[in-house]
Amino acid sequence: MFQTPIRAVVALAATSLLASTAYAESVRMTGRFAAPYRDAAMLDSLRVGRITGQDGVQLGMAIERALARPDITGDVHFDLVGGRGAQADGMLNGNVTTGVQESRFKRKEKECVEREGGKRDGKCLREEEVEKDCTRRVINVNADLRLASADGRVLYSVSRPRRDETSWCRGQNPPRTTEEAIRGMIVDIAENVRRDIVPSVENYSIRFRESTRGLPKELNRTFKDIVRQTQRDLRGACAAWTAMDAQAPNHPSIVFDLGLCAEAEGDYDRAGALYGRAAQLIGRGSNEGTQGAERIARLIAGAEDEEARRGGRNRP
């Protein structure tokens, strides 16, 4: 499925963002984040093959539906291939096992034993702890899945266990039927497969860093004015922070906010460098800077994978 280059999407979004789209003290952006299993995500076409087990067909169809769902840009990542003898770049196979176990136990619960006027809906006058016969149901679903390329390379191999436990007592109904619980776990496994092998295109918001600690006192008010300016003129605010960076070099908030400006423009290389500097200046282990650098690394990986995938598709 041919896709719109995400850098073009980011650039288009950034143009709008720099004009007006700053909410409170944050910037809303769109980005493509690399899939955790990047080699699997590089495939152009995919076929969901045989998944054995009592619930294998249901899981296979759930995976197909999850992979066929468009992202927020309207693109479907894989060309899904079906039918006998159909050829694809990769084949997903596996096995799913399902076990249901019920056991009896007794539990004490408070129960109204005397009501006003002897009526069922009358005011409760006295409660006692009553021993009740109860049922505990445990359902285990485990899917072992493997995705291999047409040349036999294993690109994705995982085990996905799920467990559902519930209990109820005499006179009550279980909160969900066995079929409902199994269906929910099957759908959850299918969505997990999508998260593993499909890049994530997301709208996300990042807040500006507003701390003025360590900033020369005469710049505090100007800095806060710039933060407010982001709500109406992000481009102008970013230019003002660039000028302030010369007046107060290596201030953690200014460096971080310049990194956020670069991220909003789609300049990931510059954003990554600025976030890395900010992380060192902020200190204290994991902070806004380290989180920003990690996010940028995923965005760069997503852009690289998209470019490589498009390049391979366009080769004669």
* pLDDT, tens digit (0-9, with 9 covering 90-100), for 116-143: 877 777 888 888 888 889 999 999 999 9
For residue range 19-47, list pLDDT tens digits in order: 334 345 899 999 999 999 999 999 999 99
Tokens of 70: 């468009």
Residue 244 domain-assigned (yes or no):
yes
The C-alpha atoms of residue 90 and residue 154 are separated, in whole angstroms, by 9
Same domain, 285 and 242: yes
Residue 139 domain-assigned (yes or no):
yes
Same domain, 232 and 139: no
Question: Among 210, 202, 274, 201, which Cα is nearest to 26's?
Answer: 210
Residue 125 lies in domain = 94-178
Same domain, 259 and 310: yes
In whole angstroms, what separates CA 118 from the centre of its chain?
55
The confidence band for 262, taking pLDDT boundaries of 50, 70 and 90, is very high
Same domain, 306 and 261: yes
* 42 bridge partner residues: none
Residue 230 domain-assigned (yes or no):
yes
Of 158, 178, 198, the last residue of a domain is 178
The continuous run of DSSP H or E covering 140 comes out as: strand 124-149
Same domain, 174 and 248: no
Of 125, 155, 178, the last residue of a domain is 178
Residue 191 domain-assigned (yes or no):
no
The C-alpha atoms of residue 291 and residue 210 are separated, in whole angstroms, by 16
Of 136, 159, 178, the last residue of a domain is 178
The CATH number assigned to the domain holding 242 equals 1.25.40.10
Contacts of 279 (CB under 8 A, 6+ apart): 287, 288, 289, 290, 292, 293
Same domain, 229 and 298: yes
Structurally, the chain folds into a number of domains equal to: 2
Residue 249 domain-assigned (yes or no):
yes
Torsion angles phi and psi, residue 25, rounded to 5 = -110, 45
**Burial environment of residue 273 by CB neighbours within 10 A (0 to 12, 13 to 18, 19 or more):** middle
The confidence band for 240, taking pLDDT boundaries of 50, 70 and 90, is very high
Question: Among 91, 99, 88, 100, which Cα is nearest to 60's?
Answer: 91
The C-alpha atoms of residue 205 and residue 28 are separated, in whole angstroms, by 4
The confidence band for 102, taking pLDDT boundaries of 50, 70 and 90, is very high
The C-alpha atoms of residue 113 and residue 266 are separated, in whole angstroms, by 68
Residue 81 domain-assigned (yes or no):
no
Same domain, 215 and 174: no
Residue 78 domain-assigned (yes or no):
no
For the chain, what's the residue count? 316
Whole-model pTM: value is 0.82
pLDDT at 274 over 60: yes
